[in-house]
Copies of this chain bind each other. A is one copy, B any other.
Amino acid sequence: MSLPTRVRIVEVGPRDGLQNEASVSTSDKIELINQLAAAGHSYIESGAFVSPKWVPQMADSAEVFAGIDRQANVTYAALTPNLKGYESAKLANVSEVAIFGAASEAFSQKNINCSIAESLARFEPVMAAAKRDGIKVRGYVSCVVGCPYQGEVAPSEVARVAKALLDMGCYEISLGDTIGVGTPKTVMAMLDAVSAVVPVEKLAVHFHDTYGQALSNIYVALNRGISVIDSAVAGLGGCPYAAGASGNVATEDVVYLLNGLDISHGVDLNALAAAGRFITDKLGKQPSSKVGLALQAKCSTT
C-alpha cells in the first residue's frame, strides 16, 4: 500500500451540504464560500442550477455566484442537471459544472423517473454545450455501495456508469456513497471494479457519514491510490432517507486524517473549523464534525 503525497479536497458544503439543511441567506452562503477559499480550499462546489421547486435551498445560486469574492486559484463549481441549468450556470460565470448518474436502477427510477441510461442520455446536450464553451464537467455517480430502495449495488454497475460518464467527456468521476452504508470491504470491491475501467487518477470519492464509516473508507481509498476527496465543512447536509442522521463526511475530520498521514492538501484546519462554526451558528446547530467540536472545546492537545 502506498498513499498519495498530495490530495485535492473538493469542498461540497455550500452545495451538497446546504441543499439538505434549513435555508440560509444568500449573504451567509457568500460569506461561507469566501471563508472556505480563505482557508485554502482550491475547489468549492458553490451552488446548483436546479428547479427551485425541487431544491429550494439552491434557488439563489446565481446571486451567490455573483456575490462571491473570486480568487484566481479557486474553482467555483455548480451542479447542472439539464441544459437550462447549464445555461444559467454559464451566465453566472461558474468555473466548472457537474452532472450525475445513479449506479442503482431503482434509485434512478424513484428519484428522476427514468432509467440510468435515459438519465445519462439527457446529459448529452449539457456535455455538448460545455465542450463548445470549454467548460470542464465533473461526473457524480450516486449509490455506489448501496441504495435506499434496492439495497446492494453491484460494483460492476458502478463501473459501468462511471465509464459511461468518462466516455461522455467528464474529466473526473466522483463515486458517491449517498446513504453512507459502505465499509472498507464493500468500498474496496467497488473501487477495484471501477478502477479497472476508469484510470484511478480520474476518480474521486464522496462519502456520507451516515453510519460513521466515511473516514475508514477514505483511508481505504487513499490506499487504493485515489487522491481527490469530496467533503463538506462541518459535516453539513443530512440523509434525506433518515432525518437526524449525519450528512457528508466533515472536511475538518478529513483534514485531520490527512495531516496525520503527512498528506498535503493546502487547507488550514483552524480557519476551516472557524468557517464551520460560522455556518453552523447560522443554522443554529452544532458542527457535525468531531474535530470541529474538539477544536471548539479548545482541546489544545495537538
Binding site for B on A (CB under 8 A): 146-148, 151, 179-186, 209-213, 215-216, 218-220, 239, 241-246, 250, 253, 256-257, 259-262, 289-291, 293-294, 296-299, 301-302
Contacts and interface: CB of A to CB of B under 8 A. Distances in A.
Nearest to A245: B294
Contacts of A245: 290, 293-294, 297, 299
Contacts of A151: 301-302
Nearest to A147: B301
25 contacts: A146-B301, A151-B302, A181-B302, A183-B257, A183-B260, A184-B260, A184-B261, A185-B261, A209-B290, A210-B294, A211-B291, A211-B294, A212-B256, A212-B290, A213-B257, A216-B218, A216-B219, A219-B219, A219-B220, A239-B294, A241-B299, A242-B297, A243-B297, A246-B290, A246-B294
B183 A256 contact: yes
Contact of A246 (B184, B261, B293): B293
A151 B301 CA distance: 7
Given A216-B215, A250-B212, A239 B181 contact: no
B185 A262 contact: yes
A172 to B, nearest CB: 24
Contacts of A293: 244-246
Contacts of A257: 183-184, 213, 216
B289 A212 contact: yes
Most B CB within 10 A of own CB, among A185, A210, A296, A299: A299
A218 B220 CA distance: 13
A288 to B, nearest CB: 9
B297 A213 contact: no
Contact of A297 (B183, B239, B261, B302): B239
A186 to B, nearest CB: 6
A185 to B, nearest CB: 5
Given A183-B259, A239-B294, 19 more contacts: A148-B301, A151-B301, A179-B299, A181-B302, A184-B257, A211-B290, A211-B294, A212-B256, A212-B289, A212-B290, A213-B256, A215-B216, A219-B219, A239-B297, A239-B299, A242-B297, A244-B293, A245-B290, A246-B294
Nearest to A183: B260
Contacts of A184: 219, 257, 260-261
Contacts of A290: 209-212, 245-246
B301 A256 contact: no
Nearest to A152: B302
Contacts of A218: 216
